[in-house]
Amino acid sequence: MRTLIQALSLLLFSTLFVFATYKLPDWLPADIYLRVDPLLGINAVFAAREVIGRALWSLILIGATLAIGRFFCAYVCPTGASIDFLDFLFFRKKKRPGLKAEARLRKVKYFLLIVFVTAALTGLSLAFLMDPLALLTRLYTFFIYPLALTVINLTLDLLRPLFKALGWVTLSHLHYFQSVFYMSAITLLIFGGIIALNRLIPRFWCRYLCPLGALLSLISPLGLFKRRVNEDCNECMKCQKTCPMGAIPEDPKATRLPECIQCRTCAKICPQKAITFPASLSWGGEYSKVDFSRRGFIYSVVGGLGVGFLATQTPFTLKESKFQLVRPPGAIPETEFLRTCIRCGECMKSCLTNTLQPCLWESGFSGLWTPKMELRLAPCDQNCNVCGKVCPTQAIRSLSLEEKTNAKVGTAVLRKEMCLVWAENKLCLICDEICPYNAIVFRPVEGYRRPVVIASKCNGCGFCEQRCPVKGESAIVVVPNGEIRLKEGSYVKEAKKLQLDFKPDPGDDKFLLEDSGFRIEEEKKGEKGISPREKTQPKKPKGFL
Amino acid sequence: MSEWYQGMTRRKFLKGAASGIVLGLTGGPSFSIAREEVDLAVVSGDPAAATKKALEALGGISRFVKKGQHVVLKPNMSFTRTPEFGATTHPLVVATVAQACLEAGAQQVLVLDHTLHRAELCLERTGIREACKDLSGVHVLTLQERKFFREIKIPKGKVLERVEVMKEILDSPVLINLPVAKSHSATGVSMGIKGLMGLIWDREVFHSQVNMNQALADLATVIKPQLTILDATRALTSGGPGGPGEVKKPNLIIAGIDPIAVDSYGVSIVPWYGQTFKGRQVEHLLIAHQRGLGKIDIEQLNVLKEKA
């Protein structure tokens, strides 16, 4: 029963994950798991110092835990389900040494929780490092999703001759776009480590490390359902040995309530059928305190504050608005963005073109795994606004397509010394061809028609940068200059105020020398130096004789 | 596998076959011999009706498509633009031709392009997938992976020696080009010949490494559509090829066997970038013409003009 619910929850998590992509229907909250996570909620609300609408969903889980107990870990948590499943796969038959320092280790998760919460109070978003849902979403995004695509495509390739023979046209041409990500390996290593720890003791992560588990365990003893052992108990200690959470102490009739996740493994294994989980309202009396030393508490608070201050007071912080980092459209101002983003990777998964990539050290410790636009790799498509839709803390605001179009992420800059047209007089025009906003026009300069960027029409989508045929670095790059980062309010209005216009407008592409706005006096000055071929360049659009 | 792309023999063969054996088999000459001499059919009207009429004017699609054949249609659906931008072929033109192919007994009709923008979005925004979704046997696909392409030699190539082309084109006996009439910031206009670039794998070399106009002529020596139907129901006269730009409404469908003649006529119907041009003034068309790939002077063509 429990396994079934776990499997269903993992399936739901995975399904929502798959749906988190272009054409995500507005009514479907694909990020729901991340929204109901109170640790991520507290982290974002504390760090950003304001109430975040979507984080309020976590009140559901808090309420449910208050009412029922710490059931989340055993039944709902997809990370727990993955751990249980992989545990079954790898370590089922292994004899595990067990740990002597259990009591002390058990406190680690509380210390971590305190570190994360105090770090959040200093404005550093850190819980993402160990929040199980952010962790699993990252693993899915950076490892499982690309791997799945590879496997699917390989399978398709393998079966292609068969599809062809059967005349299944669509299948024989099917190929899924292969998303690729930075930091896949490190994400996998972290998760692999979590699984490997199970070799020592089942659910090592959940028992000792998980800060979300720690948070839930603080309130779970108030819940309705509690483990009860009746007098049939013959103290065989079977339950104590099998409890995956180590929630049963030396006296098998007692229960460490904060640790109990109500998986009922003990009830099933008990030969005397002496264990039940009845509903009982019991205020106060049975609230078993978390054993927590004062010294440990102080250390963790100091640790959290220390990490917080260190990570927020670095050269990166001072350079914050001067990075060469292009953030996704709708990302709130950088300081708030770093505080609010929980690094789940959902935006990067959902990104239609695969331009969103995780940062490593580009903005320091406080910017790990935050999304950036890697425009040389892929552009941002003007018909897609899914990254904001799936952001559980709205560090990337959910915007309508029109608003998103106006959420300028930067401006394209032409590097003339590298441009094939400016530097080599080649017939290249790819940037102009691909620009969805006509922000790149060809204008006659010194007798030649040269590409020029009109900054007020460029919203930084990066089609030009990605498509530029120059090898290595692009001859046209999007820099964050001119980006619009709004915490609230309309991007359309802001763009209008700044006299920007990203609407289709053919007006500027008329190829009239007089209208070009360029003074071509240099042409006269340098006339001697110009070769005859150059001089005879007609005043005609490219391609016409 | 047919070797038609290797030379000019295919067209001659087709003409013979069309007027001879196959016509006899399909029930006698239902259209006059005079009509067969029509170089171009230029029909004005709304996209579907004009396309239908243009096909009839050329002697019916069965002149090109035989029972049981595989047909490839090559519209321009390279951009995530809706039809009113004029950057992509009108979905009804594609659907009408696809339908006609089916009616002529085609076993399979593939509507193919190698898109510049993200493929799913192109299929969605251009409306072409939607327009063809009820036609069974018609598949609208984009081929974005190198494995769907195969390298061929260009024996008469001046700047290109070899090129990787969609396998489906090489393996299908019939290719019908369905370009849209639009301006192009490097080649002047982008119509049938320029549209061939949607059938190859690596088009970046065209821009960065070789003279694009010569390369297009090279390409036209190996990829020879049996029929070109130019969608000039709208013409993107500036801002091409992707738009946004000025969209005029000539409301014309221009169809013909000679790809240069079709393009050349297309150049003449509207001013481009505010200037009137002839086909001869478009560099890649002129080069292709000079290399014997088709007629460029529309005054010498037998043009059948009709209204749908």
CATH number, span A225-280? 3.30.70.20
Q: Is the dihedral of CA A50, A55, A57, A58 positive or negative?
A: negative
CA distance, residue A294 to nearest chain B CA (Å): 58
**Lowest-pLDDT choice from A228-237, B92-101, B165-174:** A228-237
Lowest-confidence region among A168-172, A517-521, B3-7, B179-183? A517-521
Average pLDDT, consecutive stretches of 10 residues, N- to C-terminus, chain A (545 residues)? 93 95 90 94 92 92 90 94 93 80 86 94 91 95 96 96 91 93 93 92 92 91 85 90 89 88 91 88 57 83 90 78 87 92 95 94 86 95 92 95 94 94 84 86 83 93 93 94 94 93 54 30 36 46 76
Question: How far apart are the C-alpha atoms of A410 and A305, rounded to whole Å?
Answer: 34
Q: Which residues 359-418 in chain A show a CB within 8 A of chain B? A: 381-384
Structure tokens at A18: 């798959």
Cα→Cα distances B24→B17, B21, B30, B100, Å: 10, 5, 10, 20
Chain A interface mutation, best of B73, B81, B203, B207, highest count of A Cβ atoms under 10 Å? B207
CB B102 within 8 A of CB B149: no
Q: Which of residues 200-229 of B touch A (CB under 8 A)?
A: 204, 207-208, 211-213
Interatomic CA distance for residues A215 and A210, integer angstroms: 9
Domain boundaries, chain A: 2-224+287-312, 225-280, 407-545
Closest residue of chain A to B143, computed from CA coordinates = A173
Q: Provide the 8-state DSSP code for A205.
A: I
Q: Which of residues 231-250 of B touch A (CB under 8 A)?
A: 238-239, 241-246
Q: DSSP of A93-108, one letter per residue?
A: TPPP---TTHHHHHHH
- Does residue A427 sit at the B interface (CB-CB below 8 Å)? yes
Per the structure block, which two tokens stand in for A432? 């102009």
Are residues A542 and B187, on separate chains, in Cβ contact within 8 Å?
yes
* Percentage, residues of chain B above pLDDT 70: 88
Can you give the pLDDT at residue B12?
A: 55
Q: Which residues in chain B touch residue A462, judged by CB atoms under 8 angstroms apart?
A: none
- Write the DSSP string, chain B: ---GGGSSHHHHHHHHHHHTHHHHHTTS--S-HHHHT-SEEEEESSHHHHHHHHHHHTT-GGGT--TT-EEEEEE---SS--GGGSSS--HHHHHHHHHHHHHTT-SEEEEEE--SS-HHHHHHHTSHHHHHTTSTTEEEEE--SGGGEEEEE-TT-SS-SEEEEEHHHHH-SEEEEE-EEEEETTTEEESHHHHGGGGBS--HHHHHTS-HHHHHHHHHHH---SEEEEEEEEEE-SSTTT----EE---EEEEES-HHHHHHHHHHHS-BTTB---GGGBHHHHHHHHTTS----GGGS-EEEEE-
Q: Does A476 touch chain B (CB under 8 A)?
A: no
What CA–CA distance (Å, rounded) separates A349 from A22? 10
Lowest mean pLDDT segment, chosen from A174-178, B14-18, B160-164: B14-18
pLDDT band per the 50, 70, 90 thresholds, residue B225: very high
The C-alpha of B236 sits at a distance from chain A's nearest C-alpha, in angstroms, of 10
How far does CA A67 lie from the centroid of its chain? 31
ipTM above 0.90, yes or no: no
Q: Which residue of B has its CA nearest to A434?
A: B242
Nearest-angstrom CA–CA distance, B166 and B163:
10
Structure tokens of A498?
A: 């700044």
Per-residue pLDDT band at B20 (split at 50, 70, 90)? very low
- Segments making up each domain of chain B, as ranges: 4-307
For Cα atoms B152, B157, B160, give the angle at the middle one, nearest 5 degrees.
70
Architecture of domain A407-545: 2-Layer Sandwich (3.30)
* CATH class, range B4-307: alpha beta
